[in-house]
Amino acid sequence: MSDNKIVQITGKAIVIPGDDIDTDRIIPARFLKEITFTNLGKYPFFDERFDVELKEKPHPFNDPSCQDARILLVNKNFGCGSSREHAPQSLNRWGIDAIVGESFAEIFASNCITLGIPAVTVSSERIRAFQAATLKDVNLIWTVNLENSTVSSAKASAELHMPEHHKNTLRKGLWDSTSLLLENEDRVRQLYDQLPYTSNYGS
Amino acid sequence: MAVGTLYNKIWNKHTVCQLQTGQHQLFIGLHLIHEVTSPQACDMLRERGLPVLFPDRTVATVDHIIPTTDQSRPYRDAQAEAMAQALHDNTDEFKIRYFGVGSAEQGIVHVMGPEQGMVHPGMTVACGDSHTSTHGAFGTLAFGIGTTQVGDVLATQCLSMDPLKVRKVQIDGNLQTGVFAKDVILHVIRKLGVKGGIGYAYEYCGSTIEAMTMEERMTVCNMSIEGGARIGYVNPDSTTYAYLEGRPYAPSGEAWTRALQYWETIKSDQEARYDDEIQINAEQVAPHVTWGINPGQSVGIDESLPDPTLLPDGERQTAELAYRHMNLKPGQSMNGVKIDVVFIGSCTNSRIEDLRAAATVAKGQKVPGHVRAIVVPGSRQVATQSESEGLHEVFIDAGFEWREPGCSMCLAMNPDRLEGNEISASTSNRNFIGRQGSPNGRTLLMSPQMAAAAAVNGQVTDVRSFAH
């Protein structure tokens, strides 16, 4: 799985300011009716980007100068709400490869790990500085580096936070959970046999 | 670190091993799937040539995309039809038990599982839906998961997880008349915040929780995720056992006796240690209504709306956005706010006790002409029970529409939705912008009785002012 290694993401950033940006804002539920994830790159923040007649509204994701951004800068509790993996999938398929924020909702963060998207945190003061720097110069290049645990650009930098083992999981390319879990099938079968409810409570 | 809690005990019993990533491989005892978050997972299995490891540990139903009027196939919405067909085909191919439309068991996944007696104390439960926390009411660890993880559970019956901290949320006191589990959990989320639970499992305990029925406990646990807690649970007790006894998938005979003994062992110990403990007095909790765009933005019906300038930075911005979106003003009361739509349903509040409570308010009243009010039972079983008690007639006589079971207007993945900037009194769990299907739509979360009172008065009403 060596080509799964995620050590460093470098690119332009895009700012979505505000706390508690929920999954319904990231991708409205009506776009969850597609039975594959293939088209989801079209939909992030759809209702904030388009009016009811599908005319574009001013939004960072519509801004021509942001179209090649790879790093999303957000605030607290980003991705709260639904468990829909469609949320990180849609951001990722639009072009986002790393998310830097103050904090993330639990299930959203766990979905990001599963997809190999680093969702890292920095202090409140730093993220505000990062957002301000990017809004001032949209062409500013940022690097999220999991090796030396930093988020940096020519204008600002900070130590990034992410549980050490999550960092390692991404760096070593071990984020394909299915493959890892499959390795222990014998032990899973053993545990299955031991659990009371799988045998009608020990009949 | 928490020690001796139900969380610790179930976690330990279900840990297969620690993975090389440092995460834990956790066995999942019951996997519930529905049409929206499973098709891509089944594709993944096919792509990798993997079977479902234990097909008997997964149960499927259809709820999110189905219409609640005419439920006959094919659905008019081609995407919904394709999704329903995919679930049918996938469950057939992978030999998974499926309760489709037309079966006596079909319903919202978090209503169906418990009422069938599938959810037992001491289990781990997973489902590709954040409101899986509902099942914690039975003394389980119940995780909402993403679609890749749905694939993990199908292929391996396991999840790769990090342990959570445990917060004891002790709620004491008798609830006032007209105050329900919904009000309690809205109050808790308001107190602890929508991000207060990040990294925690919530253990709900105390005299208020002990006095609750299982359906009330499910309402509380259901909204744990709205407070940022991925899971919430209640230790099992005689109320839990009485609910389970005799249900189709509950143990019976000698197995029931053995199960009871086992379930008693998985409760949190008296001397258990927690990572955090908080106390909440429920005596003074009034009926709650949300006024904003997240479930933490609520007030007691007799309070005025908060001044955003007095709130901390992040909250102030969210509050200002909320006031703009909702077209409400600081200092005003929610009492008397005119509503356009009433939705009684969802995995939070669509069970028989919810509908009975709403019916006591609706009985003999009339929904004004400008209000569209719908009652959507959570499952076929709830619908059948309601109809046998005549509840549907109470609602219909009062001018409500009586619908077929499904998720309906909670998230509007089906024909039920708000139009334009309509404002709804809703018993569901989320008031996010656009949640009920219209980007400008507005949602006021409340209990089933409060929603029924709003319906018959055409405006938000303190249900305590209703003479029962």
- Cβ pair A197:B439 closer than 8 A: no
Which of B48, B62, B194, B200 to substitute to test the interface with A, most A CBs within 10 Å?
B194
Query: Would you list the domain boundaries of chain A?
Result: 2-174
Task: Specify the pLDDT at position A2.
Answer: 47
Q: What are phi and psi of B269, to 5 degrees?
A: -70, 155
Tell me: the pLDDT tens digits for A97-126? Answer: 999 999 999 999 999 999 999 999 999 999
**Confidence band, pLDDT 50/70/90 cuts, at residue B467:** low
Using a CB-CB cut-off of 8 Å, the residues of chain A touching B435 are: 24, 29
- Cβ pair B262:A185 closer than 8 A: no
Using a CB-CB cut-off of 8 Å, the residues of chain A touching B315 are: 19
Q: What angle do CA B219, B222, B227 make, to 5 degrees?
A: 115
Residue B177 has a CB neighbour count (10 Å cut-off) of 9
Asked if B196 and A76 count as a contact pair (C-beta separation under 8 A), the reply is no
- Cβ pair B146:A107 closer than 8 A: yes
Q: Assess whether B312 and B366 both reside in one domain.
A: yes
Using a CB-CB cut-off of 8 Å, the residues of chain A touching B228 are: 77, 80, 105-106
The CATH number that applies at residue B104 is 3.30.499.10
Using a CB-CB cut-off of 8 Å, the residues of chain A touching B16 are: 184, 187-188, 191
* Residue pointed to by tokens 């085909």: B89
Nearest by Cα to B158 from B5, B17, B7, B6 = B17
Domain end, chosen from B250, B281, B312, is at B281
- Cβ pair A35:B152 closer than 8 A: no
Q: Is A137 on the interface with B (CB under 8 A)?
A: no
The DSSP symbol for A81 reads S
Q: Assess whether B61 and B203 both reside in one domain.
A: no
Tell me: the pLDDT tens digits for A16-25? Answer: 999 999 999 9
Q: What are phi and psi of A91, to 5 degrees?
A: -65, -45
In whole angstroms, give the CA distance from residue A35 to residue A42.
15
Q: Position A99: which residue type?
A: I
Domain end, chosen from B128, B145, B161, is at B161
Task: Specify the pLDDT at position B411.
Answer: 95
How near does any CA of chain B get to the CA of A108, in Å?
A: 8
- Cβ pair A188:B225 closer than 8 A: no
Asked if B379 and B404 count as a contact pair (C-beta separation under 8 A), the reply is no
- Cβ pair B27:A24 closer than 8 A: no
Q: What angle do CA A30, B354, B416 make, to 5 degrees?
A: 20
Task: Specify the pLDDT at position B270.
Answer: 97
The CATH number that applies at residue B231 is 3.40.1060.10
Using a CB-CB cut-off of 8 Å, the residues of chain B touching A103 are: 195, 198
Mean pLDDT calculated for residue range B451-455: 98
**Confidence band, pLDDT 50/70/90 cuts, at residue A202:** confident
Tell me: the pLDDT tens digits for B333-346? Answer: 999 999 999 999 99
The alpha carbon of residue A173 and the mean position of all alpha carbons in its chain are separated, in whole angstroms, by 16
Task: Specify the pLDDT at position A1.
Answer: 42
Tell me: the pLDDT tens digits for B27-38? Answer: 999 999 999 999
Tell me: the pLDDT tens digits for A125-150? Answer: 999 999 999 999 999 999 999 999 99
Residue A56 has a CB neighbour count (10 Å cut-off) of 10
Extended beta strands in B321-450, E state:
341-344, 372-375, 401-402, 423-426, 442-445
Q: Is B129 on the interface with A (CB under 8 A)?
A: yes
Using a CB-CB cut-off of 8 Å, the residues of chain A touching B122 are: 196-197
Number of domains within chain B: 3
Mean pLDDT calculated for residue range B143-166: 98
Total beta-carbon pairs less than 8 A apart between chain A and chain B: 220
Superfamily of domain A2-174: Aconitase, domain 4 (3.20.19.10)
> Does residue B454 or residue B467 have the better pLDDT?
B454
The encoded tokens of residue A51 equal: 């009016």
The H or E element spanning position A50 is none
In-domain check, residue B245: yes
The DSSP symbol for B286 reads P
Domain residues for B10? 6-161
Q: Is B232 on the interface with A (CB under 8 A)?
A: no
Task: Specify the pLDDT at position A25.
Answer: 96
How near does any CA of chain A get to the CA of B161, in Å?
A: 8
Q: In B, residues 381-420, which contact A (CB 8 Å cutoff)? A: 411-413
Residue B420, classified by CB atoms within 10 Å of its CB into exposed (0-12), middle (13-18) or buried (19+), is exposed
| ipTM (interface pTM) | 0.96
Q: Assess whether B326 and B374 both reside in one domain.
A: yes
Mean pLDDT calculated for residue range B15-34: 97
Q: Is the pLDDT of residue B468 over 80?
A: no
Q: Is B421 on the interface with A (CB under 8 A)?
A: no
Q: Assess whether B125 and B186 both reside in one domain.
A: no
Q: Assess whether B54 and B171 both reside in one domain.
A: no
Tell me: the pLDDT tens digits for B104-132? Answer: 999 999 999 999 999 999 999 999 999 99
Nearest by Cα to B381 from B242, B290, B248, B217 = B248
Q: In A, residues 14-53, which contact B (CB 8 Å cutoff)? A: 18-20, 22-25, 28-30, 32-37, 47, 52
Tell me: the pLDDT tens digits for B76-102? Answer: 999 999 999 999 999 999 999 999 999
Which of B14, B16, B416 to substitute to test the interface with A, most A CBs within 10 Å?
B16
The encoded tokens of residue B189 equal: 């989320």
How near does any CA of chain B get to the CA of A26, in Å?
A: 11
Using a CB-CB cut-off of 8 Å, the residues of chain A touching B146 are: 83-85, 88, 107, 110-111, 114
Beta-carbon contacts of B119 under 8 Å, excluding residues fewer than 6 positions away, are B30, B113, B125, B135, B138, B140, B142
CA end-to-end span of chain B: 48
Q: Assess whether B208 and B315 both reside in one domain.
A: no
- Cβ pair A202:B19 closer than 8 A: no
- Cβ pair B37:A20 closer than 8 A: no
Q: Is the pLDDT of residue A3 over 80?
A: no
The encoded tokens of residue B94 equal: 């992978």
Q: Assess whether B82 and B95 both reside in one domain.
A: yes
Q: Assess whether B251 and B329 both reside in one domain.
A: no
Q: Assess whether B125 and B30 both reside in one domain.
A: yes
Q: Position A112: which residue type?
A: C
Q: Is B22 on the interface with A (CB under 8 A)?
A: yes
In-domain check, residue B1: no
Tell me: the pLDDT tens digits for A44-97? Answer: 999 999 999 999 999 999 999 999 999 999 999 999 999 999 999 999 999 999
Task: Specify the pLDDT at position B314.
Answer: 79
Domain end, chosen from B133, B161, B189, is at B161
Q: Assess whether B312 and B275 both reside in one domain.
A: no
Q: Assess whether B301 and B424 both reside in one domain.
A: yes
**Confidence band, pLDDT 50/70/90 cuts, at residue A203:** low
Tell me: the pLDDT tens digits for B231-261? Answer: 999 999 999 999 999 999 999 999 999 999 9
Mean pLDDT calculated for residue range A144-158: 97
- Cβ pair B156:A25 closer than 8 A: no
Q: Assess whether B139 and B218 both reside in one domain.
A: no
- Cβ pair A37:B36 closer than 8 A: no
Task: Specify the pLDDT at position B466.
Answer: 79
Asked if B32 and B113 count as a contact pair (C-beta separation under 8 A), the reply is yes
Q: In B, residues 340-379, which contact A (CB 8 Å cutoff)? A: none
* Angle subtended by helix axes A106-115 and B147-156, to nearest 10: 70
The encoded tokens of residue B109 equal: 């996944």
Q: Is A188 on the interface with B (CB under 8 A)?
A: yes
